[in-house]
A and B are shown apart, each in its own frame.
Chain A
Amino acid sequence: MSIEICNVSKRFGTFTALDDVSLEIPEGSLTAVLGPSGSGKSTLLRIVAGLERPDSGEVLLSGKDATGVAPQRRDVGFVFQHYAAFKHMTVRDNVAFALTIRKRPKQEIRERVDELLELVQLQGFADRYPSRLSGGQRQRMALARALAAKPRVLLLDEPFGALDARVRAELRDWLRRLHEEVRVTTVFVTHDQEEAMEVADRVAVLDHGHLEQVGAPADLYDAPASEFVLRFVGDAVRLGSRLVRPQEITLRRWPDDGAVEVEIERIAVLGADARVDLADGNGVRLTARLRRDELEDLDLGRGEIVWASAEPLRGLAADTSAGDAEAGQALG
């Protein structure tokens, strides 16, 4: 099922959570909504699920207006950051919930739950209560529960946010594979740009309730539409009047057109790459990332003066005030 979000705005008191956001999510895609906390990303997801109502704008599911439709009629699966496990039910009853309230035959429910528990690798845990599962297991249970009634959309609100790094990485892979298997339109919210880039085929970046950019992960990185996106997706440093990626910086021993004179403060070798800390004439610090062989060719040392430049195509002009949404909007 495709999702169309049209000019949606939402305020909580004086706080503007979403400001005129429009976003199309094609059928079968795996989309990440990425943004810092307070950017409105969870609110957007909850509006799609019907758990919040927009102040203005529309939500279309499969092309039909669903703005006023109650969550229980939207045919969506929703996964919460803190699992929202039904504590008084066993894992089996949790997963079966959507089918039980639809009064499906017992045999059918049993088979479907077994199938789902196998999908989320919780076969042996059917009779346990959620309090006796680990965080990762609870979240897998919540996923199985959300998938039970075969929803047409799967929505995940910071699904891995409460888990430790190793489990998070595991579940990311697992979500990616699950999506390849089940092919249900999936939207997940995250503040972790690495997670968004790694798992999703499309990423929508939100900041302060504004949609900054939508695109494939590589597009966001290579052609950020705003300073905010540039800063938020990957690293960014200020070179003269521009913001660039540390690995876009080239260092030369002689002056060049548009190159900035910098002093080398420190060189750190990090495996195949090296990080060079620099300071320009005004004392502004920046970092360049070079390959080891580049560094060795240049034969640089601490305290030396070099000229730094970057391909003008990629970096954005940074003459507006530093890193805020206005700059992003003007450019986006």
Chain B
Amino acid sequence: MLRRLGLRVVALGYLLVILLAPLAVIFYRTFEHGLEPVWAALSDPLTIHAFEVTLIATAIAVPLNTVFGVLCALAIVRRRFRGKGLLNAFIDLPLALSPVVVGLALYLLYDRTGWFGGWFTEHGIQVLFALPAIVLATIFVSVPFVAREVIPTLRELGNEQEQAAATLGATRWQRFWRITLPSIRWAVIYGVVLTTARCLGEYGAVAVVSGRVQGKTETATLRVEDYVVNFQTSGAYAIAVVLAAIAVVVLVLMTLIKPQEETA
């Protein structure tokens, strides 16, 4: 009894100090002087634009990485092919690489003298220090999450249900939409949530390739730093709170919906 209690205290205490304390202090400092400065910071056109840039990058990266993640998971679990182990390892690359390295790699690739950069420059498309680079960096860092969530679920699912559907007359496409996808939907949703969170929070890679021009290529996280550097802490807190609030709301929603389904 005492040992179980001890374990609980340690686990909770750890989470409290490491996770909750910083979150609490952000909320506290943000609303310390009331809502006025928060509102001022959030309604600043530059802040609104920064959120827009972040949302655009997220809105492109999440659907792409969801489709890619599900396809990758299907290939890795269901198919046999050469280089499968390599694919499986490569998916995790963005988790292993520091985002700054990712940013640098993209920089080298899309720079005027880079492998891809030359072609884009010839065709008059600005990639670096513009929205395309922000989107690319966001996609890169958020690749693994959907696949990582879906792969174990697919393994556990097996393929008997799909075979049963096949004998019942379902085409490959019908099997995917009616059997596979509904069976892995919670893993996909969880993956999407994690991907979204990663996209919204991306800082390092975007910092390198965006050029961080206020009102043009500045994302929400870059805007936070901007405020901090300029000693406008209330602005930084306000944006940080919005980002944190989104994360908290999403997590709470997840835990509220998920268990009911599991027991059904």
* Residues of chain A at the chain B interface (Cβ within 8 Å): 49-51, 70-74, 76-78, 80, 82, 84-88, 97-98, 101-102, 129, 131, 142, 145-146, 148-149, 155
CA distance A146 to B170 in the complex (A): 13
Would B164 and A84 count as touching, CB distance under 8 A? yes
Closest to B167 in A: A78
Number of residues from B at the complex interface, CB < 8 A: 17
Would B167 and A72 count as touching, CB distance under 8 A? yes
Answer yes or no: B214 CB below 8 A from chain A CBs.
no
With A87-B183, A88-B182, A131-B264 in contact, is A97–B166 under 8 Å at CB? no
A/B interface sample: 5 pairs, CB < 8 A: A78-B164, A80-B164, A84-B160, A84-B163, A102-B169
Would A146 and B178 count as touching, CB distance under 8 A? no
CA distance A131 to B178 in the complex (A): 18
Answer yes or no: B168 CB below 8 A from chain A CBs.
yes
Q: List A contacts of B178 (CB < 8 A).
A: 97, 101
With A82-B160, A87-B183 in contact, is A146–B168 under 8 Å at CB? yes
Would A149 and B264 count as touching, CB distance under 8 A? no
CA distance A49 to B166 in the complex (A): 10
Interface 1/0 per residue, B141-171 and A, CB below 8 Å: 0000000000000000000110111111111
Q: List A contacts of B174 (CB < 8 A).
A: 101
Q: List A contacts of B161 (CB < 8 A).
A: 84-87
For the complex with contacts A76-B167, A97-B165, 4 further pairs of A-B residues with Cβ separation under 8 Å are: A50-B167, A51-B163, A72-B171, A74-B167
Would A86 and B179 count as touching, CB distance under 8 A? yes
Closest to A132 in B: B264
With A84-B160, A86-B179, A88-B182 in contact, is A101–B264 under 8 Å at CB? no
Would B182 and A101 count as touching, CB distance under 8 A? no
With A86-B161, A129-B264 in contact, is A146–B183 under 8 Å at CB? no
| B71, chain A: closest CB distance, angstroms | 21
| A95, chain B: closest CB distance, angstroms | 10
Would A88 and B160 count as touching, CB distance under 8 A? no
Would B160 and A71 count as touching, CB distance under 8 A? no
Interface 1/0 per residue, B245-264 and A, CB below 8 Å: 00000000000000000001
Q: List B contacts of A102 (CB < 8 A).
A: 169
**A-B pairs with lowest CB-CB distance, top 9:** A78-B167, A84-B164, A98-B168, A84-B160, A71-B166, A88-B182, A72-B169, A71-B167, A72-B166
| B80, chain A: closest CB distance, angstroms | 12
Would A97 and B168 count as touching, CB distance under 8 A? yes
Query: What secondary structure prevails in chain B residues at the interface with A?
Result: helix
Q: List B contacts of A131 (CB < 8 A).
A: 264
CA distance A76 to B163 in the complex (A): 12
Q: List A contacts of B264 (CB < 8 A).
A: 129, 131
Q: List B contacts of A155 (CB < 8 A).
A: 167
CA distance A37 to B164 in the complex (A): 22
CA distance A142 to B264 in the complex (A): 19
With A86-B161, A129-B264 in contact, is A49–B183 under 8 Å at CB? no
Would A80 and B168 count as touching, CB distance under 8 A? no
| A88, chain B: closest CB distance, angstroms | 5
With A84-B160, A131-B264 in contact, is A70–B183 under 8 Å at CB? no
Closest to B262 in A: A131
CA distance A88 to B184 in the complex (A): 10
CA distance A71 to B168 in the complex (A): 8
| B251, chain A: closest CB distance, angstroms | 24
CA distance A139 to B169 in the complex (A): 19
Would B168 and A145 count as touching, CB distance under 8 A? yes
Would A71 and B163 count as touching, CB distance under 8 A? yes
With A72-B170, A101-B170, A129-B264 in contact, is A88–B183 under 8 Å at CB? yes
Would A146 and B166 count as touching, CB distance under 8 A? no
CA distance A84 to B174 in the complex (A): 17
CA distance A145 to B171 in the complex (A): 17
| B181, chain A: closest CB distance, angstroms | 10
| B163, chain A: closest CB distance, angstroms | 5
Closest to B161 in A: A84
